[in-house]
Amino acid sequence: MTLPVLGWQGLVILVVFGATLLIATYSTYAERVIAAFLQDRVGPDRAGPYGLAQPLADAVKMFTKEEFFPGGASRALFVFGPCLAMTTALMSSAVIPFGNSLKFGDTVIHLQGIEINVGMLYVFGMVSLGVYGIMIGGWASNNKFSLLGAIRAASQNISYELAMGLALIAVLMMSGSLSLRDITLQQSVPGEWQFWNIVKQPIGFIIFLVCAFAETNRTPFDLPECETELVGGYHTEYSSMKLGLYLFSEYINIFVASAVMSVLYFGGFNFPFQYELRDWLVSSRGLSADLAQNIIVLVGVGGMFAKIFAFIFFFMWVRWTLPRFRYDQLMRLGWTILIPLAIFNILLTGGLITAGIIPAVRQWWLG
């Protein structure tokens, strides 16, 4: 890699970082508006046009609140917890391919923070590390409600990570690669009919979706911060911007989970008929091949974000529709339903691949 390419790549990383923060910021606004609309209310509409300055007002509020340390709390860990949650949440968006590569002459820029061949494992690792942020924060608070919330978060994440990983294995069996970029590219191959993974892995997707809700601690699985039982869960004792970091990392996690689901099951930055569009641009508009490619890459980035926003909306839609699960129901769902179902899904996928049924079905479908 030459220096200018590195420079461009650095810029991409900065843009991804900034976009992640911006989206997380406006998720807080979107959450309120969506919640309000689902409940026939108006939502924030005072700060700025349509209340768009509301996140800024919230940030000012968070920063100017009193910084409170509970007595008997472990000060260093108390600060470390939210920092860790935030850092890991931000790091996990690094490997997500937001677009294909832009090409300017010899310079090729991947629209992705870093391309590593174990991208999926990296995301999983980061998400699991995020639980430590919650654990440490809950433990350091010296409060039994916080501790209970933290323990719940840990056990819930472990349980659901299993089912999530098993659902993922079925995808990996078909793709043969852990790189998120490869998985995306495989879902759309020029010149042949290729379906997004959702068509091939419907069961896997549902399992993954349910687990994503549990991993991001969203309703109906927001047991770690269950107000009715645990006051505020692991962040009961937190105030000011440290609380802000926890809430923020939750929204970043939602963003990352949405991005991962778009990549794994909804074709990532691919959109239908992209190669046809490119060829049409070249043949009847007379654009150069590079320019045409760059155009569909940019449209693809738009498509990727549209998918992500759709998922974020879905997260919020579900949150304001469903009540919270009881803890034993949560555990039973995870261990006795999702994990066996995921294993069954693996066997099914394996069987279909071995029997060569998927290519056969495609042949039949295309006549």
Partner 1 sequence: MQSLTNRAKLLEKKPMTLAERAYLPAIFQGLTITMRHFLRAMRKQQLTIRYPEETRPFSPVFRGLHVLKRDEAGRERCTACGLCAVACPAEAITMVAGERLKGEANLYREEKYAVSYEINMLRCIFCGLCEEACPKAAIYLQADKMAPPRYERDEFIYGKDRLVEPTDPAKRSKRGIQLTDEQATKLSGQLQPA
d(CA 341, CA 170): 12
Tell me the per-residue interface mask from 158 to 177 with partner 1, x by CB under 8 A, - otherwise. Answer: --------------------
CB of 233 to partner 1, least distance (A): 23
Determine if 2 is a binding residue for partner 1 (CB under 8 A): no
Q: Using CB under 8 A, which of 10, 14, 22, 41 touches partner 1?
A: 41
Determine if 69 is a binding residue for partner 1 (CB under 8 A): no
Contact partners, residue 244, CB within 8 Å, separation at least 6? 58, 59, 62, 63
Part in contact with partner 1 (CB under 8 A); list of ranges 39-47, 50-58, 238-246, 343-351: 39-47
Determine if 49 is a binding residue for partner 1 (CB under 8 A): no
CB of 58 to partner 1, least distance (A): 21
178 phi and psi angles, rounded to 5 deg: -95, -5
d(CA 268, CA 167): 18
CB of 44 to partner 1, least distance (A): 12
Nearer residue to partner 1 within complex by CB, 6 or 322: 322
Residue 58 token pair? 């919230």
Nearer residue to partner 1 within complex by CB, 45 or 290: 45
Helical ranges in the chain per DSSP H:
3-38, 54-64, 75-91, 119-140, 144-175, 180-186, 197-200, 202-215, 227-230, 240-265, 274-285, 289-319, 327-332, 339-354, 357-366
Contact 282, 113 (CB under 8 A): no
Part in contact with partner 1 (CB under 8 A); list of ranges 15-23, 130-138, 320-328, 345-353: 320-328
Considering only CA atoms, which of 116, 126, 132, 155 is closest in space to residue 253? 126
239 phi and psi angles, rounded to 5 deg: -140, 175
Q: Using CB under 8 A, which of 80, 132, 309, 317 touches partner 1?
A: 317
Determine if 206 is a binding residue for partner 1 (CB under 8 A): yes
Maximum CA pair distance of the chain? 73
Part in contact with partner 1 (CB under 8 A); list of ranges 24-32, 37-45, 124-132, 194-202: 37-45
Q: Using CB under 8 A, which of 4, 14, 37, 344 touches partner 1?
A: 37
Part in contact with partner 1 (CB under 8 A); list of ranges 35-43, 76-84, 197-205, 285-293: 35-43
Residue numbers of the site for partner 1 (CB under 8 A)? 34, 36-42, 45, 206, 317-318, 320-322
